[in-house]
Amino acid sequence: MEISRILIIEDNLDIRENIAELLELGGYQTYQAENGKLGAMMALEHLPDLILCDIMMPELDGYGVLHVLSKHKETLHIPFIFLTAKAEKIDIRKGMTLGADDYITKPFEETDLLLAIENRLKKSSGAQTAVSSSSFEDLFVHKIVKSYAAKQLIFTEGDTPRYIYFLQSGKVKIVKMNKDSKEVVLELCGAGDFFGYWGVLEDQNHAESAEVIEDCTVWQIPLEDFKHLLATNNEVSGKFIKLLSKNLLIKESKILELAYESVRKRVANSLIALSDTYADESGFSMKVPRELIASMAGTSVETAIRMLSEFKNDGYIDVKSSEIKLLQYDKLKNAPF
């Protein structure tokens, strides 16, 4: 019988080693990581059968780990269980809408942990058997593959929806113009994301535009194919339920942020959002137009540039020409601005 391999991502040494000892006594092979960044790298290297992950950690928090791993087809379907001392409903809701399979609140009973792991491994085994019969790409047999250059529009506000879009590679932003004709970024999309689906689901014209940030390859999926899969394929419909929940949570948080947070905090949150969407196992570093940061934060370009200069002086980021590298993810995210 093959031994199941479990990755434990937990910054508390005592908790991490106690869990590892318990699981090894239960017949599992374990790997250990003391922070989120190392945990994401180990997940991609070892491809464990299940991941246990704390939420509040240095380098990269648990939400960031889940987001990074969801971008890789090798780790997308690995069962993911959050270990958290934060029992508030909003934290649990956020984890589940991001795609977590379960959560366990610390302190926990040893039997509860073992049962949760056993159940998730059983469900994963059945799901993988079903998924292996046809690849995700094969589901969309009539898709049209198109390439777009930076700053091109894929669709605009008011267009009649003709396709659902899947981002195979590159970077895209979903934007809307406010009453003052200023661009507001609603969502960032990276490889593996769907977009352009709200108009289809609501049977209305597009209420936003999709603009390319970085050269990309996009699948255009005909509406009839998409609607048929929603009705007949549990994997696709389940993915969209999570996607819609995540999207609503992001919009809810954005409204609260624009209403109550300082401009310094909004610029910091914009950098965190960019990192959560586009960081890889080596961290976040990319060429970021200052106009993008300004529209995400709801401020002027001049103010965004000034905030970036302050963050550089504080040691949170490094800036070279148009490229921004995030040096202190956890400190920037939790700084009391």
**Could you count the other beta carbons within 10 Å of the beta carbon of residue 132?**
8
SS3 126: helix
Question: How many other C-beta atoms are found inside a 10 Å radius of the C-beta of residue 218?
Answer: 25
Q: How many CB atoms lie within 10 A of CB 144?
A: 11
pLDDT higher at 286 or 107: 286
Q: Which DSSP string do the residues of 59-111 spell out, in sequence order?
A: SS-HHHHHHHHHTSTTTTTS-EEEEES---HHHHHHHHHTT-SEEEESS--HH
DSSP 3-state of 328: coil
The string of pLDDT tens digits covering residues 175-195 is 988 777 788 898 899 888 889
pLDDT in tens, 281-310: 788 999 999 999 999 998 999 999 999 999
Distance CA(39)–CA(32), nearest Å, equals 8
* pLDDT-based confidence at residue 171 (cuts at 50, 70, 90): very high
Q: Please state, in angstroms and rounded to a whole number, the distance separating the CA atoms of residues 257 and 242.
A: 22
Average pLDDT, the chain: 85
Which has the higher per-residue pLDDT, 187 or 97? 187
Report the pLDDT value the prediction gives residue 248, as an integer from 0 to 100: 67
* Single-letter residue type at 80: F
Q: How confident is the model at residue 2 (pLDDT cuts 50, 70, 90)?
A: confident
- Return all residues near 161 (Cβ < 8 A) that are at least 6 apart: 155, 196, 199, 200, 205, 206, 223
What's the rounded mean pLDDT across residues 121-144?
A: 63
Tokens 């609501």 sit on residue: 202
Helix spans in the chain (H): 13-25, 36-46, 62-70, 89-97, 110-132, 136-139, 198-202, 223-232, 234-260, 263-278, 290-297, 301-314, 329-334
CB–CB of 95/82 below 8 Å? yes
If you search the block for the tokens 């792991």, which residue do you land on? 117
pLDDT of 126 strictly over 60: no
Question: Model pTM greater than 0.85?
Answer: no
Q: Tell me what pLDDT residue 69 has.
A: 86
According to the model, what pLDDT value does residue 224 have?
85
Give the model's pLDDT for residue 237. 72
218 backbone dihedrals φ, ψ, rounded to 5°: -125, 140
pLDDT of residue 235: 65
How far apart are alpha carbons 293 and 324 in whole angstroms?
11
Tell me how far the alpha carbon of residue 257 is from its chain's centroid.
19
pLDDT in tens, 34-89: 999 999 999 999 999 999 999 888 888 888 898 888 777 778 778 899 988 765 55
Domains of the chain: 5-131 (3.40.50.2300), 138-247 (2.60.120.10), 261-334 (1.10.10.10)
Give per-residue pLDDT as tens, 211-244. Answer: 999 999 999 999 888 888 777 776 667 667 766 7
Residues 17-33 have pLDDT tens digits of 999 999 999 899 999 99
Q: Is the peptide bond before 107 cis (omega within 30 degrees of 0)?
A: yes
